[in-house]
Amino acid sequence: MQHFPKVSYVSANFRCEISLDRFSKQFAEAQQWLGDRVLEDCRAVMPHLTGSLQQRSHTEDGGKKVIFPGPYGRFQYGGKVMVDPVTGSPWARKGARKVLTDRPLQYSNPQVTDHWFDTAKARNGDYWIAGVKQRGGGG
């Protein structure tokens, strides 16, 4: 230790281990809650002509992943018509790989949108954050 007028200088090493184990349950519950809310709020603006996409969509890994199964989910989320590159038809030949067009998909329900996560987040993002904070112990 060195002392100077009005100043003391200490050189030392400090090691600290902090366990967050007691928060694990809260964090896991907050994550699952968020995944469930994201899925629920997305379903309100997802295409649902037959309901298949909504029924097959789910959360995984404790709410860390919200799954909208593809390739149908990917196609609907992109919001563009896909066609057979040879025939130009939305009905593809066996083995053909569809290509995107610049034509938007037409939905019969005005509440439905492509990129539904972005819409749900814009509508509910503040609610999601508040809910996670409340369940995670920070609000």
Span 122-135, mean pLDDT? 96
The 10s digit of each residue's pLDDT in 28-53 is 999 999 999 999 999 999 998 888 99
The runs of H, that is alpha helices, within 8-114 are: 24-43, 52-56, 72-78
Residue 12 has a pLDDT of: 77
- pLDDT, tens digit (0-9, with 9 covering 90-100), for 62-119: 999 999 998 888 889 999 999 999 998 888 889 888 888 999 999 888 999 999 999 9
Closest of 100, 105, 136 to residue 28, by C-alpha: 136
Q: Choose the weakest-confidence range: 16-25, 77-86, 88-97, 123-132.
A: 16-25
